Chain A
Amino acid sequence: MKITAKPLPSVELPELRQVGKPLRRVDALSKTVGATLYAGDYYPTNLLYGKVFRSTIPHGKIRRLDVSQARALEGVACVLTAGDLPRAVLVTDMPGQTGQKRRSGSDAQVLATDTVRFIGEPIALVAAETEALAEQALRLIEIEYDPLPAVFDPLEAMQPGAPQIYPPDNVVARWRIRKGDVAAGMAAADVIVENTFSVPYQEHAYLEPEAGVSWVDERGVINIRVCTQVVEHFRSISLALGVPQNKLRIQGTMVGGGFGGKEDITVEIFLGLLAKATGRPVRLAFSREESILAHSKRHPYVITHRTGVTRDGHITAAEVKVISNSGAYVYLSPYVLLYSTGMAVGPYRVENVSVSSASVATNNPFTSAFRGFGAPQVCVAYEQQMDEIARAIGMDPYELRRRNFIHKGDLTIHGQELTSAAWLEETTTRAVAALGDPTPDWGSFKVGQGFASYMQSYGRITWLHDTSQAWVGLEMDGTATIRAGVPDLGAGQISALAQIVSEVLGVAMKDITIYHTDSAVTPLSGTSTATRQLYMSGNATLQAATAIRKNLLERASRYFEELPEAIDLADARAFVKGHPEQSLRLAELVAMCASEGLPLANLAMFKAPFTGPIDPETGQGQIWPDFTFGAQAVEVAVDTETGEILLLKSAACHDVGRAINPAAVEGQIQGGSSQGLGYALMEDLAVEQGRIKAGSLSEYLIPTACDFPETQVIILESGTGVGPFGAKGIGEPSFTPAPGAVANAVANALGVRIHELPLTPDRVLAALDKTGKRSG
């Protein structure tokens, strides 16, 4: 592939002092020296240890459950089963943060009442004086099942007569997009290309397995200190515990990685139940193996594309069928599926489209959020399909894409207008050009290059009416405090807020303290999901800081006898622009404001666009606030004798709008890239008959530092995002193009496409055998 970078449109970004610089993160030092306390690091006195008793079969009726011996064991404080919690429901839908009703049928059981539907489903809870006693108690629990017929394949689960996990047809959600006239579009095509692609499960494999501690305080409030992406779960946890919402407090810790796996409730309800039942502090921490068993997974998909195209590369129609495996419970499957549906054809303008999607219940581990939220799976499919279309009409794969890329002002397939820059050519050409000339083939190794372009939303679904709040205040000595309910997943979520305040108020990063992730004392900022935190809480923080700045400038303008616009704040001083000698220490200015009663603190709420639901028949309407665009390109060498794939080069280019902290942005892109490359090349949960066979990290292999070269990161800044200072989101989008790029590079190397991820050596050899292309 020979491509030169497309020149960038001229963009004038405002000069900033703090934002845009790779400043040291506020949490860097304490994490580096090991001072940060994670959720598993708290051991209050008088502690009990919790454990969960889980199902070992994929589907069955509980004929007999006897916990009497466990209860009788000395040192066991309590054993709970479903019989002890008559009204408890586990809310698996989006938290009702802004008053939305949850989807009917989306609730699950906290503990299995009479039926278990997947291996690992919780059945009983134990709290005991030591961890060893709690484990011993688990072994004393007796259970007998009447197994029920189980179904594991979503296509089989949709057949009449299949075992019913989610009556009446196992379909937990459907979406459809109908736009234009697909039949006419297909008729106008010179060539119709049809392919089916499938993508597997993925395990989040964060460093920190789920953990927490809970206790009831002197106010009668149930406190739960936990690693979570969603503080607002306190509402549904209170529902499960049968206590008012203001009697349940989540104290979120720094999170050792989330990636969507801590977006659903994990240990919280169990902790609350045990603390409430015993009146003592309880700790519950999953081992790695239990973590893999207990939390959600990325949805496997089967995606079929039928695309009509003219000889000159104009896509005339697209028909896409999307099936995802929801596992035994609904969780976020409907929303994940919506993302897949809206993004099904990728960043292309297609006038005649039909997308039909369904998410189907099976007796498998349940699936829910995972970085990208359904967008990466469809990217794997649509970008392979684009390469296949290019091959079918004999056109360069970039040229085909260029002719069909969507642009600013165009409507997406769901009828949403693109309002920010859509730098697809700019990012794709740069990613591809960065690879340079292909390495020549050697020995039994064949080299290939491939790329994937994408668009992906950031911010929550707009009909969920998302809001975020942040509080900013100045102290008398000129230092600043931020309070925001933001969970920090390690991506720099809170540090970005500090950097924004530093910019607006001229306070150094080291002079800013941030309190975060506490449902009782920090204003609720919404979830650290959907690549929304910088967009939402960044804007809320910007609003709060700007309101304070206004007061400071007003007071300073009287002091300097200049207009407020002539005054600026930096380096802990207020000064007259262009006349730095006319300046005042920020602390003095703060004191002046305080003595006049001018507010030095502000609680701001930022609201995303609020829209109504999309049309259920046609899927038309606004779904997201805005989109990020980008591309990744990789070069691989495939050993045609052993099937091994070496990744030789990788380059990613994304328009992030504005990089608040370029080092943090690069970190996200490196991490997202590796996670996506691992998904394509090695990660394999090996779920058979509902059982995860690769249930530990010696079997479920994620990439190490030796496996991939560093991804060359190219950050573009169009300045057009809806986040603070024109930022877009990058946390999830950084994953999205990586796996499809690998699939295309491998197909390019081998001359044959493997329609299924991961691209294991076995599959590579099988594909070569089929075409007789194996060397040796």
Chain B
Amino acid sequence: MLPEFDFLTPNSLAEALAWLAQRAGDAAPVAGGTNIVPDLRSGRHAPKALVDLSRLAELKGIRREDGYVVAGGGVTIAELLGSPLVRSSARPLFEAARLFANPLIRNRATLAGNLADASPAADSAPPLLALDAEVELVSQAGTRRVSLVEFFTGVRRTVRRTDEILAAVRWPVPEPEAAFGYTKLGLRRADAISVVSAAVCLVPAPDGACSRARIALGSVAPVPMRARAAEAFLTGRPLSAETIAEAARMAAGEASPISDLRATSGYRKRVAEVIVRRLLAEAARTPQPQES
């Protein structure tokens, strides 16, 4: 059963920030409620007040701004799916949105909720890491930008202060030659928590070598992670099958998965290598088609 709590419905971001500041510590934002309501029911989370962000226009919309794509924290997964900008300039995020939960949840679940909840299995995280995204944290004290890699600090822990709202997620518009890939492995084909997920970004140099690589993994570490050593290894090397295989091995080696009901840690490591290898090989072969 749901415990009792105050439900605060601010009409503006400023009002929401005021509530959060005033009730610092015992109030939590709620957007789609798809994480926090189950948490309240199970008793894992017991805020005295929920500050409803779901009707704040300031957190909506996806736009281009100075070489960046900026998505409001209140954008839902369904809205990501419907956005031509996401489709063209954040392909892995679009793919992740397609495999996210089910249509009902996608209509409510928000990007900020997914990131702020900071589950190692948050499905928007690996694509956004591969896109080199940063988040915008707003409070009465001002706005700060934190790169997504630094945002996550542990299982369901982030650098966000309780008086802060995750107002937006931003990522640079990818170079036209950048190629991406995304895969989610779950125990069924819809509505399943990821067993392993991965997103990659490869930017080839004119000579075909790798000029930049980003490899992001979900569900294999306490936080959604970048495989830095594998990325460094790839950079400057030709994208041959051998290099790719080695990079995939390294990426899996950087992972530190746990065993749980869904899979053993051994399985996760092994399969992380497989999917990273496949994604890199695919990205190395196919320049990403650019839709306008």
What is the interface of chain A, defined by CB distance below 8 A to chain B?
A: 131-132, 135, 641-644, 682, 686, 693-694, 698-699, 701, 703-707, 760-762, 765, 776
Contacts and interface: CB of A to CB of B under 8 A. Distances in A.
Given A642-B274, A694-B261, A761 B188 contact: no
Contacts of B187: 682, 701, 760-761
B261 A699 contact: yes
B191 interface: yes
Contacts of B275: 642
B267 A131 contact: no
B274 A761 contact: no
Interface in B160-191: 185, 187-191
A686 B260 CA distance: 11
A135 B4 CA distance: 13
Contact of A765 (B102, B191, B261, B267): B267
Name the residue in B261, B264, B274 with the highest tally of chain A Cβ atoms < 10 Å from its Cβ: B261
Interface string B252-265: 00000000010110
Contacts of A707: 188-190
Contacts of A698: 193
Contacts of A694: 261
A290 to B, nearest CB: 12
Nearest to B196: A642
A292 to B, nearest CB: 14
B267 A682 contact: no
Contacts of A760: 187
A517 B163 CA distance: 57
Contact of B267 (A135, A761, A776): A761
B156 interface: no
Nearest to B3: A132
B146 interface: no
Nearest to B267: A762
Contacts of B267: 643, 761-762, 765
Q: Secondary structure at chain B's binding surface: helix, strand, loop or mixed?
A: loop
A228 to B, nearest CB: 25
Nearest to B263: A762
A135 B264 contact: no
A704 B1 contact: no
A431 B187 CA distance: 27
B81 interface: no
A698 B42 CA distance: 13
A131 B187 CA distance: 35
Given A643-B271, A704-B189, A706-B188, 7 more contacts: A641-B274, A693-B261, A701-B192, A706-B190, A707-B188, A707-B189, A761-B263
Contacts of B188: 682, 701, 703-704, 706-707
12 contacts: A132-B1, A682-B187, A698-B193, A699-B261, A703-B188, A704-B102, A704-B189, A704-B190, A706-B189, A761-B267, A762-B263, A765-B267
A642 B185 contact: yes
Contact-size category for B: 10 to 19
A693 B261 CA distance: 8
A707 B192 CA distance: 11
B270 interface: yes
Nearest to B4: A132
A746 to B, nearest CB: 16
B100 to A, nearest CB: 13
Nearest to A693: B261
Given A699-B261, A762-B263, A642 B271 contact: yes
Given A704-B189, A707-B190, A131 B1 contact: yes
Contacts of B195: 761
A762 B262 CA distance: 10
A699 B190 CA distance: 13
Nearest to B193: A698
A170 B83 CA distance: 62
Interface in B245-292: 261, 263-264, 267, 270-271, 274-275
Contacts of B271: 641-643, 761
B274 A776 contact: yes
A655 B60 CA distance: 57
Interface in B189-209: 189-193, 195
A681 to B, nearest CB: 9
Given A642-B185, A642-B274, A704-B189, A135 B263 contact: no
A776 B248 CA distance: 13
Contacts of B192: 701
A205 to B, nearest CB: 13
A644 B189 CA distance: 11
Contacts of B274: 641-642, 776
A309 to B, nearest CB: 37
Contacts of A644: 185
Contacts of A701: 187-188, 192
A91 to B, nearest CB: 32
Nearest to B38: A698
Nearest to B275: A642
A131 B271 CA distance: 45
Nearest to B191: A704
B1 A765 contact: no
